Amino acid sequence: MSVVANSPAHPFVSAASQGLPRVAPRLDRNSLAGWATLALGLIAAIIWATETGDTSSLVRAMNFILPTYFLTIMPFVAYLLVRADPKMIWTPIVLFLAHTALFKGLGPLVFQFGNAETMAYINDNIWARTHTEQLQTNILNAVATSVIIVSACFVMRVRSVRRFAQEKRNGNFLRDQKIMMKTALAFLFLGFINRYAIVLPYEWGLTDTPPPGIASTLKNLIDLGIALIAYLSVRRGGSWTILFWIVFPMHVLTLMLEFRKSVVMLAILLPAFTAYLAHGKPRRLIAWILSGALIFVLITPFANYGREMIIARGGEDVYNASLGDRVGIVENVLSNPDAFLAAANERARQNSWLRLDYSGPQAYVMHEFDRGIVNPTLLDGLWRLVPRAIWPDKPTTSGPGRWFYQYVTSSDRQARVGVTFYADAYWNGGWTAVVLVCGGIGALFGVATALVMRWLRSSDFIMFPAILLIADFALRGLNGWIQNGFALIPYLMVYGMFVYFIRKTARL
Q: What are phi and psi of 98, to 5 degrees?
A: -65, -40
Count CB-CB contacts under 10 A for residue 492. 16
pLDDT < 70: residue spans in the chain? 1-30, 168-177, 313-320, 339, 342-347, 380-398, 502-508
- Cα dihedral sign, 478-484-485-490: negative
pLDDT for res 301: 82
No. of helices (H) and no. of strands (E), the chain: 24, 0
pLDDT for res 397: 56
pLDDT for res 8: 35
- Cα dihedral sign, 276-255-485-491: negative
Q: Number of C-alpha atoms within 13 angstroms, CB side, residue 61?
A: 8
pLDDT for res 316: 56
Reference 450, options 20, 2, 22, 146; nearest CA is 22
Spatial distance between the Cα atoms of 111 and 122, rounded to a whole number of angstroms: 8
8 Å CB contact between 180 and 461: yes
pLDDT for res 508: 46
First and final CA of the chain: distance in angstroms? 36
Spatial distance between the Cα atoms of 18 and 11, rounded to a whole number of angstroms: 18
Reference 461, options 198, 199, 230, 193; nearest CA is 230
* Helix, strand, coil fractions of the chain, as percent rounded to 5: 75, 0, 25
Q: What are phi and psi of 213, to 5 degrees?
A: -60, -40
Measured at the alpha carbon of residue 267, what is the angle toward residues 193 and 501, in degrees to the nearest 5? 45
Reference 127, options 105, 143, 104, 111; nearest CA is 111
Spatial distance between the Cα atoms of 496 and 508, rounded to a whole number of angstroms: 14
pLDDT for res 366: 94
pTM across the whole model:
0.81
DSSP 209-257: -PPPHHHHHTTTHHHHHHHHHHHHHHHH-THHHHHHHHHHHHHHHHHGG
Give 200-205's long-range contacts (Cβ < 8 A, gap of 24+).
Answer: 203/319, 204/321, 204/322, 204/323, 204/326, 205/321, 205/322, 205/323
- Cα dihedral sign, 497-502-504-507: negative
